[in-house]
Structure 1
Amino acid sequence: MNRIEKRPLTHLGYNFVDAAYLPQGKDEYYLRDQQWGRQGGYRQLNAQELEILVRNDNTSDNWNNIMVSEEFNPQLVQHCHFFGMVRIGKLEPYYLEYRNLRLAVGLYNSTITSCDFGDNVVLHNVNFLSHYIIGNEVILFNINEMETTDYAKFGNGIIKEGESEERRLWMELCNENGGRKILPFDGMLPGDAYLWTRHRNDKQLMEQFRLLTEKQFDQRRGYYGMVGDRTVIKNCKIIKDVTIGSDAYLKGANKLKNLTINSRPDETSQIGEGCELVNGIIGYGCRIFYGVKAVRFVMASHSQLKYGARLINSYLGNNATISCCEVLNSLIFPAHEQHHNNSFLCAALVMGQSNMAAGATIGSNHNSRGADGEIIAGRGFWPGLCVSLKHNSRFASFTLIAKGNYMHELDIPFPFSLVMNDEHDNTLKIMPGYWFLYNMYALARNAWKYVDRDKRSNKIQYIEYDYLAPDAMEEILHVLPLMEQAVGTAWYTQEKQALPNDALLLQKGQELLLHDAAAVAKLTVYAGKVENSQRKTVLLKVHRAYPLLREMLNLYGIRNILDYTGKNHGATFSQLHAIAQTAQRGSWQNIGGQLMPEASVEDLKDRIRTGKIESWLQLHDVYKQEGSRYEKEKLKHAIACMLQVQGVSADGFTPAFLQQCLQQSVHTMSTLTENIYLSRKKDYTNPFRKMVYNSPEEMEEVIGKLEDNSFIQQTKADLETYKKTVADLLKNWNL
């Protein structure tokens, strides 16, 4: 049975906050007055104004509770019903126009309960508006219900006075069983979500994260919903416990409940037709259109949901777009793309710069008896058409996965690789270094694209978009000996010799890979245990990938050195040599798209654990500090990687060594630039690409000329600049 309560009409619009929750000496409006901030300058209606209001078919339970500004025009209030205290700002005989919607300033055909209005507001056909503070020049048109409760939390994971813990909102990321759940809050960054979902055995750290969230918000009851200046809301059905920034645009939404919608003049947010959003935080500059369903979610700034997308118990990072498909229980770092109705992502940690193709099903737990599986994917994760991956699986940075149903759990340590499921031979095949060999155009263009599309105005976290970065370079250093051992094993097996110890296997593998690529090309090379099955995993084109990956480490070092000398004019070799003496490598972590040395992350956690970091804002300041040190730390790491791959100690960082590395980098850059061109050229020479056009001229009209490709032209110009920079350094330092 529905519980319908009957109360005196004289109570409508009053007693918003129960007396038990009011501080001594305070009335139900004390928080409202703090929020409004302009309660002065209002007066009661004069007799003439009251007469006009009544003549215009307006009613009030108590006209003495209608407060107006000096510039109030009663002629612009018609057919409205007022309950409780209502304050109305300036009303002038104008109309406001937004995208061809033209409406007269004033309040018309609406029921208004205990609200404040700024200047020149447009309010037309709002059936029920309760406990809201409306800014200046706001347009509200055709809204069924818009109200705020006294316990509104606006999407934040807090509880109000008198509420039980069961009322708290949790967001269950990375795992369907709730074992990594966190409390959403306005201003949450990808790094915050990542740190909170990991390290679950550290109870003290977990408790501190909860306390940081509790301290950031007020538990008192009685806050009103707010609508910022120049926001437009039209043709919406239900808006409940939603606070909205300035310059937002909401049209045709079905249901918006318990939300914070951040918006401001330079980063406006928009919500479109048919959307149903419940229990969420929406960052600045977000776009949500066309039948989207989202529940228990956070959208970081400039992210998008479109075309019926479903986002549930998930965090969507900055500058990410999800269309059509379904995403559950996932933590997604910045620059994620997912556009297809039949793609599915569940219980995953996706570390950014990722793209999911049509038919991809990422996170099937059909190989488990419980909803407790997870997938972890490094930067640049790219599951191709109709890929099906099972829990638990883990993928190194820039892993491309070819079409197939992968029946077993995978642990792919090889970065920049192509993973293939060969059902005919019943083998898993991995091609390390695939991107550098065959798809350099996409790799390089994506790195440029992500930087160009980063629309954040307040870049608290320094997001790394370069593919040559500490996380991927550490992964390369990790897999080089794996490849050496695999090649050594393959050679001894082919020669029908007993396998020696690991040191000799590594030595033999490296010798063959560096000096006899032709012999390696003839070997069948098997990887170690990367799949939870009895079948074998074959490594492809190891003889080509191995030297190229080593070259990437050298290029990584030189590019960072050139960046250093370019920003520090007058820098000398002696200064660089001094930096090399302190250079060291080690594990790095991807903290929401921001790369940090593991030692820095441990120090950060310790400061949180011990209370030295007392708020989320302080933690965000630490992100900024780490970001300001990133280039220096990356330079040291890059030099250390370059030294290690060459087998040289810090003392071996000599002018001759640097000269050799510089010259090698020019060769590598030339190869990569050529591969960028060749990988795009395939689209123009492949007969299956060309067959849909009547002539080469038609093809060029449709897709453009290869020679006119602006990105290819830019890479060629960058190569010439790079060669000149290297030549100038060699000359200036007499190398």
Structure 2
Amino acid sequence: MNTYRSLTKEEIGRLEAQACTAADWNEVQVAERFTTAHVHHARFSGKIRLGVFEGEFQLAGGVRKHAGLSYVVLHNVTVGDNCLIENVKNYIANYDIGESTFIENVDIILVDKKSRFGNGVEVSVLNETGGREVVIHDHLSAHQAYIMALYRHRPLLIERMKAVIEGYAEEHASERGTIGNHVTIVNAGYIKNVRIGDCCEIEGAGRLKNGSINSNAADPVHIGYGVVCDDFIVSSGAHIEDGTMITRCFVGQACRMGHNYSASDSLFFSNCQEENGEACAIFAGPFTVTHHKSTLLIAGMFSFMNAGSGSNQSNHMYKLGPIHQGALERGAKTTSDSYVLWPARIGAFSLVMGRHVNHPDTSNLPFSYLIEDKNTTYLVPGVNLRSVGTIRDAQKWPKRDLRKDPMKLDQINYNLLSPYTIQKMMKGREILKELERVSGETSETYAYQSAKIKNSALNKGIRFYETAIHKFLGNSVIKRLENIRFRSDEEIRQRLVPDTSIGKGEWVDVSGLIAPKSEIERVMSEIETGTLCTVKQMHERFAEMHACYYTYEWTWAYEKMLDFYHLEADKVTARDIVAIVRQWQESVVWLDRMVYEDAQKEFSLTSMTGFGADGSKTEQQLDFEQVRGVFESNPFVTAVLEHIKVKTALGNELIDRLKGLLNENEA
């Protein structure tokens, strides 16, 4: 921390000889070791504090520049040690600049009034006309935003959340801006009322107005050429490049935005990738991805979603304005040229193909295909469970989490099968069986809401869901009983009893966080009563919930296991567990075989079309193999086969541990 002193007469004389001026030299203070050697063509007004200029910057191409000030106008500015500020076209006003910061060829950087730096901005998400506004702030998580946007039927909750955020915004308001340590700002235009964190790089940005860039040394932010941001907050690790334009937006940790992407009144949470297209009033939960110029996302809620080229939605069905909204639950995908007329709700891990105008709600039929044929929506339930793409997605998301900041704002659960999706499959299974019962087993098609389900698809859907339920419950049982050698059925029963009662009942996906609804309700009640009264406390409660996921999951799975397999808690035996494990093995192997067969299609003769330049079928196949490899040695394929071996062995290991409790025939 520098201690400051006034300039000496000799120093003032040297500065004036170096074309420096000041409205009042008495207002200029400098660090103890300050020297005038590297300060020239500078104009000072208001209260000025200058550090020492002893360091050097090495630029790309090997150019070296010494720290100092040249051709700048500073008004009410503190400059930290070893900064270089030069060629400021207009001026810098009302800023505290950290150490070793490099500012060159900028137009203007100023704070013109008491500012909240983007904190407290209301984003009209989901409904462009208002009513679901989310108030953004530096530490906004997807889970806070989800509650604020969707739980409008609890006005006290919304009022209290807004009050907490208002308090945070006011606490961090100031008439002075900050530019952190080791920041680079070059060739930038208009920067007004923006707070800039450590190690941020801003290159060629056109306009940045009323916002916070929460960069830090662990995970710097990069803002590139032609970027325009108004009323915004950008989180650590984000990269916003190449003419991106955002207005009233929150950009989460490790997001990537570029290639002239434009967005207004939208929220983008961790690891979103947005390029080329357009967004309006969307809630983009973690890993929402769109890459195509022709894609418009509007008034929708998404997460773990990939939008195909030309994907579009309409939120303007009637004549009262853009008031309709929709949701694609986690893992949903849209194919090229897909269209959904809001309102609609698409189930988790579903694929949308074609145009759908009859407002489908398939939330209780996850892992489905929605296919349009002659303006009719056909639903194929559960079929996405066998898709190689679905499994590949589930594997890639954790690997693509680019967040390096130790402070993770979003609590992300990557599990494909969880109480959230399994409860929906259980409901879906009941729905399909009831459709079959009411309409008859021989019906060619079944009507479900605004969609049609073919007979064969219905029967396969029931099997897909049952197989996934067996797989999930078996996974949970094996995990619960691992590494323990039991001497009696009673010991098994004791081990099966959950560690907590939390987890029973319905589960929800709160934009990436999978949790018991009871716990989300508890958080909301604590906010309403004032028990949770700070942004930090809310974050800690969500983090705690996420950390306890597997404990809560077993509570739910135990209850469902007893119900699904028609068991009684005080009568469970080793024989029952072995039966569950064997059913689990069958389910795992069957699903993996289906995925294996789906992957094999990628190596069919049809897939080789376009390979081999002007050659024979043999050359075509050789070209394909050089580019795509051989099916048997494909890493994903070998991983599937290995998964079958590992899971089979895992089940056998538990059965072996229980053999002593089985009679001779069962063993």
Deviations 1:306-360 (A, max 9, x none): 111112111101011111111111112111111111111111121x111100000
Q: Structure 2 matches for 1:122-137, cutoff 5 A?
A: 122-127=84-89, 128-137=91-100
Question: Which residue of 1 is the match for residue 380 of structure 2?
Answer: 431
Gaps of 5+ in 2: 613-618, 663-667
Alpha-carbon spacing, 1:584–1:618, altered in 2? closer, same or farther (3 Å):
closer
1:666 aligns with 2:615: no
1:484 aligns with 2:433: yes
Q: Which of 564, 583, 592 is the matching residue for 2:480?
A: 564
Q: For residue 117 of structure 2, what is the amino acid of its counterpart?
A: F
Alpha-carbon spacing, 1:202–1:297, altered in 2? closer, same or farther (3 Å):
same
Moved over 6 A (4+): 580-584
Please tell me whether the aligned partners of residues 229 and 247 of structure 1 are also in contact (alpha carbons under 8 angstroms).
yes
Cα distance, 1:676 vs structure 2? 2.8
Cα distance, 1:649 vs structure 2? 4.2
Please tell me whether the aligned partners of residues 126 and 299 of structure 2 are also in contact (alpha carbons under 8 angstroms).
yes
Question: Which residue of 1 is the match for residue 275 of structure 2?
Answer: 323
CA–CA separation in structure 1 for the residues paired with 2:347 and 2:61: 47
Q: Which of 650, 655, 660 is the matching residue for 1:730?
A: 655
Alpha-carbon spacing, 1:653–1:372, altered in 2? closer, same or farther (3 Å):
farther
Please tell me whether the aligned partners of residues 272 and 288 of structure 2 are also in contact (alpha carbons under 8 angstroms).
yes
Alpha-carbon spacing, 1:458–1:584, altered in 2? closer, same or farther (3 Å):
closer
Q: Structure 2 matches for 1:95-106, cutoff 5 A?
A: 95-97=57-59, 102-106=64-68
CA–CA separation in structure 2 for the residues paired with 1:108 and 1:473: 65
Alpha-carbon spacing, 1:580–1:690, altered in 2? closer, same or farther (3 Å):
farther
Q: Structure 2 matches for 1:179-578, cutoff 5 A?
A: 179-218=131-170, 222-350=174-302, 352-402=303-353, 404-412=354-362, 413-423=364-374, 426-437=375-386, 439=387, 441-456=388-403, 457-459=406-408, 461-491=410-440, 494=442, 523-530=443-450, 538=454, 540-566=456-482, 573-578=492-497
Question: Which residue of 1 is the match for residue 41 of structure 2?
Answer: 79
Cα distance, 1:636 vs structure 2? 2.1
CA–CA separation in structure 1 for the residues paired with 2:464 and 2:572: 22
1:721 aligns with 2:641: no
Cα distance, 1:364 vs structure 2? 3.9
Question: Which residue of 2 is the match for residue 502 of structure 1?
Answer: none
TM-score by length of 2: 0.92
Please tell me whether the aligned partners of residues 340 and 356 of structure 2 are also in contact (alpha carbons under 8 angstroms).
yes
CA–CA separation in structure 1 for the residues paired with 2:334 and 2:204: 35
CA–CA separation in structure 2 for the residues paired with 1:561 and 1:204: 41
Cα distance, 1:463 vs structure 2? 1.5
Q: For residue 627 of structure 1, what is the amino acid of its counterpart?
A: H
Q: For residue 140 of structure 1, what is the amino acid of its counterpart?
A: I
CA–CA separation in structure 1 for the residues paired with 2:566 and 2:112: 67
Q: Which of 32, 45, 48 is the matching residue for 1:70?
A: 32
CA–CA separation in structure 1 for the residues paired with 2:63 and 2:240: 21
Please tell me whether the aligned partners of residues 497 and 558 of structure 2 are also in contact (alpha carbons under 8 angstroms).
no
Cα distance, 1:144 vs structure 2? 0.3
Cα distance, 1:713 vs structure 2? 2.6
Secondary structure at 2:579 match in 1: helix
Please tell me whether the aligned partners of residues 139 and 409 of structure 2 are also in contact (alpha carbons under 8 angstroms).
no
Q: For residue 548 of structure 1, what is the amino acid of its counterpart?
A: F
Cα distance, 1:378 vs structure 2? 1.1
CA–CA separation in structure 1 for the residues paired with 2:180 and 2:503: 50
CA–CA separation in structure 1 for the residues paired with 2:173 and 2:585: 65
CA–CA separation in structure 1 for the residues paired with 2:219 and 2:499: 43
CA–CA separation in structure 1 for the residues paired with 2:78 and 2:382: 62
1:46 aligns with 2:26: no
CA–CA separation in structure 2 for the residues paired with 1:652 and 1:278: 64
CA–CA separation in structure 1 for the residues paired with 2:459 and 2:41: 81
Q: For residue 452 of structure 1, what is the amino acid of its counterpart?
A: K
Alpha-carbon spacing, 1:233–1:390, altered in 2? closer, same or farther (3 Å):
same
Aligned length: 646
Cα distance, 1:400 vs structure 2? 0.5
Gaps of 5+ in 1: 1-37, 158-168, 495-522
CA–CA separation in structure 2 for the residues paired with 1:570 and 1:250: 60
Secondary structure at 1:114 match in 2: strand
Please tell me whether the aligned partners of residues 114 and 176 of structure 2 are also in contact (alpha carbons under 8 angstroms).
no
CA–CA separation in structure 2 for the residues paired with 1:368 and 1:153: 37
CA–CA separation in structure 2 for the residues paired with 1:264 and 1:357: 34
1:57 aligns with 2:9: no
Secondary structure at 1:411 match in 2: coil
Question: Which residue of 1 is the match for residue 533 of structure 2?
Answer: 614
Q: For residue 401 of structure 2, what is the amino acid of its counterpart?
A: D
Please tell me whether the aligned partners of residues 270 and 410 of structure 2 are also in contact (alpha carbons under 8 angstroms).
no
Alpha-carbon spacing, 1:711–1:688, altered in 2? closer, same or farther (3 Å):
closer
Q: For residue 625 of structure 2, what is the amino acid of its counterpart?
A: E
Question: Which residue of 2 is the match for residue 19 of structure 1?
Answer: none
Question: Which residue of 2 is the match for residue 699 of structure 1?
Answer: 624
Please tell me whether the aligned partners of residues 108 and 191 of structure 2 are also in contact (alpha carbons under 8 angstroms).
yes
Please tell me whether the aligned partners of residues 503 and 516 of structure 2 are also in contact (alpha carbons under 8 angstroms).
no
CA–CA separation in structure 1 for the residues paired with 2:181 and 2:55: 19
Question: Which residue of 1 is the match for residue 122 of structure 2?
Answer: 170
1:708 aligns with 2:633: yes
Alpha-carbon spacing, 1:405–1:255, altered in 2? closer, same or farther (3 Å):
same
Q: For residue 52 of structure 1, what is the amino acid of its counterpart?
A: R
Cα distance, 1:49 vs structure 2? 1.8
Q: Structure 2 matches for 1:637-648, cutoff 5 A?
A: 637-648=556-567
Q: For residue 252 of structure 1, what is the amino acid of its counterpart?
A: G
CA–CA separation in structure 2 for the residues paired with 1:96 and 1:50: 30
1:593 aligns with 2:518: no
Deviations 1:400-428 (A, max 9, x none): 011x22222111131000011111xx532
Please tell me whether the aligned partners of residues 502 and 516 of structure 2 are also in contact (alpha carbons under 8 angstroms).
no
Cα distance, 1:121 vs structure 2? 0.3
Secondary structure at 2:498 match in 1: helix
CA–CA separation in structure 2 for the residues paired with 1:472 and 1:298: 28
CA–CA separation in structure 1 for the residues paired with 2:65 and 2:532: 50
CA–CA separation in structure 1 for the residues paired with 2:180 and 2:393: 36
CA–CA separation in structure 1 for the residues paired with 2:246 and 2:459: 48
Secondary structure at 1:446 match in 2: helix
Secondary structure at 1:543 match in 2: helix
Deviations 1:586-613 (A, max 9, x none): 2111122111211112221111111111
Cα distance, 1:101 vs structure 2? 6.1
CA–CA separation in structure 1 for the residues paired with 2:142 and 2:62: 38
Alpha-carbon spacing, 1:269–1:565, altered in 2? closer, same or farther (3 Å):
farther
